[in-house]
Structure 1
Amino acid sequence: MADTSALAATQAYSKAINNTLGAKPSGGANEAAEAVGGPSFAEMLASAGTEAIETGVNSEQISLEAITGDAGLADIVTAVSNAEATLETVVAVRDRVIQAYQDIIKMPI
């Protein structure tokens, strides 16, 4: 089962920002300030979604190559690991967004 803690969601979000900006993970507290000049949240989300879909398609392609015998075991394991990590990241972000939405709904007006 995927870890849906706040820490896991924060790490997933940080990883998505770093991947989008092409930066190396630094773990610094000023990452948000550095990202101000970067893409908008919508652009970053669209980019992350596109990358997740591409990872899934690549994994399926490697699976098809494995069936025909054209892919090696290392390629298969790498593709499955990448697809699993991507899915866990997407689920962690989704769960955190749902939790944030529920917290907002509970706020008094």
Structure 2
Amino acid sequence: MIDQLLSVSTRNALSKLSETVNPASMPGAASPAVATGQPSFDSVLSQVTGKLQNAEAVSLKSMTGDVPTRDVVNAVMDAEKSLQTAIAIRDKIVQAYLEISRMPI
């Protein structure tokens, strides 16, 4: 189920974006995420994927009665919050890309 969220087209789009905009390939330039000490979008996505997988595992364990309902709700809400954050970041990236593409040369 989680793998469906990161479909092949999304992975291809992200890899093309990282190939197109690769600050490490520019001489003397460091990655903005590395320079500011902030996590990259890739690491944020991997964290979101981990939280979604955890929520799914906790939900499945709750069906057998191994996990209390409160833990299931907490895991699902945490995963939803992380997913909404990743979606907001993605939307900002797309918005910035579209803004740059509309700039006259």
Q: How does 1:16-31 map to 2 (within 5 A)?
A: none
What TM-score does the superposition give when structure 2 sets the normalisation length? 0.62
Q: How does 1:52-71 map to 2 (within 5 A)?
A: 52-71=48-67
Specify the alignment match of 2:24 in structure 1. none
Q: Structure 2 counterpart of 1:58, which letter?
A: N
RMSD of aligned residue pairs (Cα, Å): 1.8
User: Partner of 1:108: helix, strand, or coil?
Assistant: coil
For structure 1, the 5+ residue unaligned runs are: 1-34
Q: Which has the higher contact order (CA 8 A, sep 6+)?
A: 1
The 2-side partners of 1:82 and 1:46 are apart by 19
The verdict on how the C-alpha distance between 1:37 and 1:93 changes in structure 2, with shifts beyond 3 A counting, is closer
Aligned length: 72
Among all aligned residue pairs of Structure 1 and Structure 2, give the percentage whose two residues are the same amino acid: 38
Which residue of 79, 83, 87 corresponds with 2:83?
A: 87
What TM-score does the superposition give when structure 1 sets the normalisation length? 0.60
